[in-house]
Structure 1
Amino acid sequence: MKLAVVGGGSTYTPELVDGFARLRDVLPVTELVLADPAEERLETVGGLARRILARADHPATVTTTSDLDAAVADAHAVLLQLRVGGQAARERDESWPLECGCVGQETTGAGGLAKALRTVPVVLDIAERVRRANPDAWIVDFTNPVGIVTRALLTEGHRAVGLCNVAIGFQRKFAALLGVAPEEVHLDHVGLNHLTWELGVRLGGPGGADLLPGLLAEHGGTIAADLRMPKTLLERLGAVPSYYLRYFYAHDEVVAEMRTKPSRAAEVAAMERRLLEMYADPTLDTKPELLSKRGGAYYSEAAVALVAALLGSAEDGGGVQVVNVRNDGTLPFLPDDAVIEVPAEVSPAGARPLPVAPLSPLHTGLISAVTSYEHLALEAALRGGRDRVFAALLAHPLVGQYALAEQLTDRLIAHNREHLAWA
């Protein structure tokens, strides 16, 4: 089984390789190809990947290359984890929206739109090359903004599923609070990528008793503190929102915080420099603890389970996993071609979303608004033009004012001109 990782020079990659090493019985990888244009960084990461597999006595070979076509040739699955523009572009995404009083974040608001505009054309080019090399290959997208990127891939007819680690993070957290194995916990996880709520926590599968009320009663303070939201809010919602909902529920508070402390991009860039120094140590053969602070926790477990199900190597046939998938009537208030993030039955035939109980207007209103924004964002990414960028920003619930949308449009184009073919 050959897997290719595009963006293989990422500091995330050792997390992924660690999962391949530990879960070899789930996903029997024989060849792993790491592709990245940053050759020096790629060799550093590739060296650690080989040592991690060797430590586990794993038989897979690891190849590094800057030749994308060679990387994806004959691959059974291709994982995308790239960042167009690197951390420098992320730093800008987190800075110029603040000049207008808006959240500066790499997947939410104006910064998220900038990332989508840079990313979608590149991902679609990669996907087309994957299709030419092997039309049966699956594409697993971990590249943000996952919802918009996955929608772009599915719109173009690619065999693709989007993956985020928010749900598996909640699953692990709730399992620890309940004192059970993570695989026993099923989440009523619903929404869009980075706009989700946990509406239920069940043991043994979708039909199990809902333990969320008890979790909130007993551990609500701990859960709320992790999300940096008031416990009373969770009690009133009767649900656990993704921490990304804080950008909506406490927008002005977040903006004030962002203006007084170093950006997350700066923190991550410093962390990455340190990680790459550690990866270069020829005696290091495990993922360092520092990597857990980089983000992407449990990415490897989620990715291994998803790829195993898509390729038919999972013993249970794949089971239920939270993924980003085409709506197709699951949320009846959204168009069929919207991409939602919900539990789905995953198999070699793809991901089929499970039925979702009717949602309250508290959820449907925000989901509908952000879905409309994502539609316009994809239009801007595919067709370009200042007016399309402006329309997407005007539709975004965190913008919504024409004067503000005008200012943000000018700044977005100015800071991303080198990545926008039409600008």
Structure 2
Amino acid sequence: MKLAVVGGGSTYTPELIDGFSRLRDTLPIEELVLVDPAADRLELVGGLARRIFAKQGHPGRITTTSDVDAGVADADAVLLQLRVGGQAARNQDETWPLECGCVGQETTGAGGLAKALRTVPVVLDIAERVRRANPDAWIIDFTNPVGIVTRALLQAGHKAVGLCNVAIGFQRRFAKLLEVAPSEVYLEHVGLNHLTWERGVRLGGPDGADLLPKLLAEHGDSLAADLRLPRVLLDRLGVVPSYYLRYFYAHDEVVRELRTKPSRAAEVAEMEKRLLEMYGDPALDEKPELLSKRGGAFYSEAAVDLAASLLRGGGSPIQVVNTYNNGTLPFLADDAVIEVQARVDRSGAVPLPVSELDPLYAGLIANVTAYEDLALEAALHGGRDRVFKALLSHPLIGQFAYAEALTDQLIAHNREHLAWV
């Protein structure tokens, strides 16, 4: 079995390598190719990756290349974890929207749209190369904004499934609180990528006892603190929202905070410098503790589980993924991409039924889906008017003056990445 990781020079990659090593019985990889245009980073990450495999006794071979075509040739699956423009572009995404009083964030609002416009054309080009190399290869997308990118891939006819680590993070957290194995925890996870709620936490599967009320009663303070949302909100809703919902439920508070401190991109860029220095140490043969602060916790376990199911039918039969709606949420079009529990096997991902959603959640999902429709149109076809309409439709923007100003800012900051400018 051959896997390729596009964006393999990312500082995330040792987390993925660690998972591949530990879970090699679930996903037996014979060859792993790390693909990245940044040859200097690729050398450092590739060296550490080989040492991790060697330390843990993994027999697979790890190679590196900056040539996408060579890297994906004959691959059974390709993982996408790329960042067009790097942390410098992310830093812009997180700062210029603040000038209009709108949240600056890399996956939602104006910054999220900018990332989508930069990313979708690049991902589609890579996907076409994958299809030419092996039409049967699966594409697993971890590249943000996952919902929009996954929809672009599916709409173009690619064998693709989107992946996020939010659900597995909640699963692990709840399992620890309940003192059970993570595999015993089934989440009623529903929504769009980075716009989800946990409506139930069941033991043993979808028909098990719902322990979410118990978790909220006994651990509501700590859960609320982690989400940086008021405990009373969780109690009133009776659900646990994704931490990305803070951008919606406490938007103005977040904007005030972001205006008073360095961007997350600046923090990550500094962290990446330190990580790359560590990766260059020939004595290092495991992922460093600092990597846990980089983000992406449990990404490797989720990626292994998904790849194993798609390639061998050997992973968990039910997983949280991003895939076509196909009637699951009746208020959305079939070709909307949602993030829910799905049955996953070699034929792909099929969402499990979801009980009727409260209008509080359905309304926001419908609104953001409409934005994602317009965002994808802008990413595929370009044009100032399409960018403006996408921004105007976003619930975190929604005002003419803001949308006008943000459109100009977005284009000005992303000219080098927009072919239509």
Using the size of structure 2 for normalisation, the TM-score is 1.00
Percent identity over the alignment is: 79
Q: What are the within-5 Å matches in structure 2 for residues 316-327 of structure 1? A: 318-327=316-325
Q: What are the within-5 Å matches in structure 2 for residues 217-296 of structure 1? A: 217-296=217-296
Deviations 1:33-74 (A, max 9, x none): 000000011010000000000001110000000010010000
Q: Distance in 2 between matches of 1:125 and 1:56?
A: 35
Q: Secondary structure at the match of 1:59?
A: coil
Q: Distance in 1 between matches of 2:392 and 2:332?
A: 19
Q: Distance in 1 between matches of 2:23 and 2:92?
A: 38
Query: Is residue 400 of structure 2 the alignment partner of residue 402 of structure 1?
Result: yes
Q: What are the within-5 Å matches in structure 2 for residues 60-99 of structure 1? A: 60-99=60-99
Q: What are the within-5 Å matches in structure 2 for residues 119-158 of structure 1? A: 119-158=119-158
Query: Is the CA contact (8 Å cut-off) linking 2:76 and 2:136 kept in structure 1?
Result: yes
Query: Is the CA contact (8 Å cut-off) linking 1:6 and 1:82 kept in structure 2?
Result: yes
Query: Is the CA contact (8 Å cut-off) linking 1:2 and 1:31 kept in structure 2?
Result: yes
Query: Is residue 177 of structure 2 the alignment partner of residue 164 of structure 1?
Result: no
Query: Is residue 200 of structure 2 the alignment partner of residue 200 of structure 1?
Result: yes
- The aligned counterpart of 2:365 is 367
Deviations 1:309-346 (A, max 9, x none): 000151xx641100001000000000011000000000
- The aligned counterpart of 1:214 is 214
- The aligned counterpart of 1:345 is 343
- The aligned counterpart of 2:415 is 417
Cα deviation for residue 137 of structure 1 reads 0.2
Cα deviation for residue 128 of structure 1 reads 0.4
Instruction: Kindly provide the amino acid, as one letter, of the partner of residue 92 in structure 1.
Output: Q
Query: Is the CA contact (8 Å cut-off) linking 1:26 and 1:313 kept in structure 2?
Result: no
Query: Is residue 15 of structure 2 the alignment partner of residue 15 of structure 1?
Result: yes
Q: Distance in 2 between matches of 1:122 and 1:263?
A: 25
Q: Distance in 2 between matches of 1:186 and 1:154?
A: 27
Instruction: Kindly provide the amino acid, as one letter, of the partner of residue 331 in structure 1.
Output: L
Instruction: Kindly provide the amino acid, as one letter, of the partner of residue 346 in structure 1.
Output: V
Q: Secondary structure at the match of 1:199?
A: strand
Gap runs ≥5 in structure 1: none
Aligned pair partner of 2:380 in 369, 382, 396: 382
Deviations 1:105-155 (A, max 9, x none): 000100000000000000000000000000000000000000000000000
Query: Is the CA contact (8 Å cut-off) linking 1:5 and 1:78 kept in structure 2?
Result: yes
Cα deviation for residue 209 of structure 1 reads 1.0
Larger deviation, residues 287-296 vs 317-326 = 317-326
Q: Secondary structure at the match of 1:388?
A: helix
Query: Is the CA contact (8 Å cut-off) linking 1:98 and 1:259 kept in structure 2?
Result: yes
Q: Secondary structure at the match of 1:323?
A: strand
Q: What root-mean-square deviation, in Å, do the aligned CA atoms of Structure 1 and Structure 2 show?
A: 0.5
Instruction: Kindly provide the amino acid, as one letter, of the partner of residue 350 in structure 1.
Output: G
Q: Distance in 2 between matches of 1:27 and 1:206?
A: 26
Q: Distance in 2 between matches of 1:246 and 1:123?
A: 28
Q: Distance in 2 between matches of 1:206 and 1:288?
A: 36
Instruction: Kindly provide the amino acid, as one letter, of the partner of residue 408 in structure 1.
Output: L
Using the size of structure 1 for normalisation, the TM-score is 0.99
Q: Distance in 2 between matches of 1:135 and 1:93?
A: 35
Q: Secondary structure at the match of 2:191?
A: strand
Gap runs ≥5 in structure 2: none
Query: Is the CA contact (8 Å cut-off) linking 2:313 and 2:345 kept in structure 1?
Result: no
Q: Secondary structure at the match of 1:295?
A: coil
- The aligned counterpart of 2:53 is 53
Instruction: Kindly provide the amino acid, as one letter, of the partner of residue 189 in structure 1.
Output: H
Q: Distance in 2 between matches of 1:253 and 1:40?
A: 40
Query: Is the CA contact (8 Å cut-off) linking 1:201 and 1:210 kept in structure 2?
Result: yes
Aligned pair partner of 1:335 in 302, 320, 333: 333
Instruction: Kindly provide the amino acid, as one letter, of the partner of residue 278 in structure 1.
Output: M
Instruction: Kindly provide the amino acid, as one letter, of the partner of residue 389 in structure 2.
Output: A
Query: Is the CA contact (8 Å cut-off) linking 2:75 and 2:134 kept in structure 1?
Result: yes
Instruction: Kindly provide the amino acid, as one letter, of the partner of residue 291 in structure 1.
Output: L
Query: Is the CA contact (8 Å cut-off) linking 1:11 and 1:45 kept in structure 2?
Result: yes
Q: Distance in 1 between matches of 2:228 and 2:41?
A: 35
Query: Is the CA contact (8 Å cut-off) linking 2:313 and 2:346 kept in structure 1?
Result: no
Instruction: Kindly provide the amino acid, as one letter, of the partner of residue 186 in structure 1.
Output: Y
- The aligned counterpart of 1:309 is 309
Q: Distance in 2 between matches of 1:67 and 1:108?
A: 31
- The aligned counterpart of 1:44 is 44
- The aligned counterpart of 1:113 is 113
Q: Secondary structure at the match of 1:282?
A: coil
